[in-house]
A and B are shown apart, each in its own frame.
Chain A
Amino acid sequence: MTPALPGAAAGAGVAAMTVPPAAFLLVGTLLFFIGVAGALLKRNALSMFLSIELMMNAVNLLFLTYARMRGDAAGQMVVFFVIAVAAAEAAVGLAIFVALFRARMTIDVDKANLLKW
């Protein structure tokens, strides 16, 4: 197991968490939900991509909440890696959109249907 966060061992004198963790989990889930809806309902590739970013951040919030609940730094490390991978993904994804736009003059995903039958 990864080492505990400094706060886990801290005793008196530090403020207790007054917001119940379930509230954070609820917000994270709702955000993920909104992200899923956006990714499925939108047809503009860029907006779909934005929704996916939102989903990733909703999951990040869940990871941070669990890290806090367990006093375990592993959750924060995962978020760190998610953020870095998201940066790589955004670079490649946007490059694909630019290439798609050059080929089709649109980034509507319904119009990119060459492999579809």
Chain B
Amino acid sequence: MSAQMIVFALASALALVFALLMVVVKTPVKSVLSLVVTFFGLAVLSILLAAPFIAALQVIVYAGAILVLFLFVIMLLNLQKEATEKDARPIHRVLSLVAVLASGGLLAGVTLRAGAPPVPLTAPAAAYAIPAADEIPLLGRLLFSDYLLAFEALSVLLLLAAVGALILSKRRFE
């Protein structure tokens, strides 16, 4: 077993276990924390996939900003445990479980088939090698050439989101 395999096993186990924990746990704060650990595992997987830049971005933006924002809202609204009263429509839960299993099975089948492709990949086998050089300049160049329109649209979207969040959360003084 190679070192990469061991790291992969540990990171994916961490991600999966804490993802499950996130769904199972009843306290919102603990859900958020479990998700932080999951993202940490995902970041390690991204590094294994030779995307250290994306891994760092994931930790900074998700764990460092978005989830801290979640914690901030939870503490602001003082959300304690989730409601424990009886579910009004238990059938809803059963149906969603069935839906999850069905769609999950379908999805797993499709992606795993793609993972062992019967058609030869366009790139040579060397594509599996870890980049010897820095991939960040390449991503930077792409961002300002091929993806320039998407990049500019994104900046407008972020501005709109900031304005929208401000208007939505502002108290109306009447």
Contact = CB atoms under 8 A, between A and B. Distances in A.
Q: Do chains A and B touch in the complex (CB under 8 A)?
A: yes
Interface of A: 2-11, 13-38, 40-44, 46-47, 49-51, 53-54, 57, 60-62, 64-73, 76-77, 79-81, 83-92, 94-99, 101-102, 106-108, 110
Nearest to A10: B132
Given A27-B16, A99-B168, A6 B107 contact: no
Interface residues of B, number: 90
Most chain B CB within 10 A, of A7, A28, A40, is at A7
B114 interface: yes
Interface in B3-62: 4-5, 8, 12, 15-16, 19-20, 22-23, 28, 31-32, 35, 38-39, 42, 45-46, 48-51, 53-54, 57-58, 61-62
SS class of chain B's interface: helix, strand, loop or mixed? helix
B82 interface: yes
Given A32-B107, A61-B45, A18 B5 contact: yes
B127 A70 contact: yes
A44 B83 CA distance: 8
Contact of B88 (A35, A69, A107, A110): A110
Nearest to A94: B73
Interface in B45-87: 45-46, 48-51, 53-54, 57-58, 61-62, 65-66, 69-70, 73-74, 76-77, 79, 82-83, 87
B174 to A, nearest CB: 13
A57 B129 contact: no
B66 A86 contact: yes
B48 to A, nearest CB: 7
Contacts of A110: 88
Contact of A38 (B23, B45, B61, B133): B23
SS class of chain A's interface: helix, strand, loop or mixed? helix
Nearest to A33: B104
B161 to A, nearest CB: 4
A80 B146 CA distance: 14
A16 B126 CA distance: 8
A16 B128 contact: yes
Given A18-B5, A80-B143, A90 B22 contact: no
Given A64-B46, A85-B157, 16 more contacts: A8-B129, A16-B129, A20-B115, A21-B115, A33-B100, A37-B23, A43-B82, A46-B31, A57-B39, A65-B49, A67-B51, A68-B49, A70-B122, A71-B126, A91-B162, A92-B161
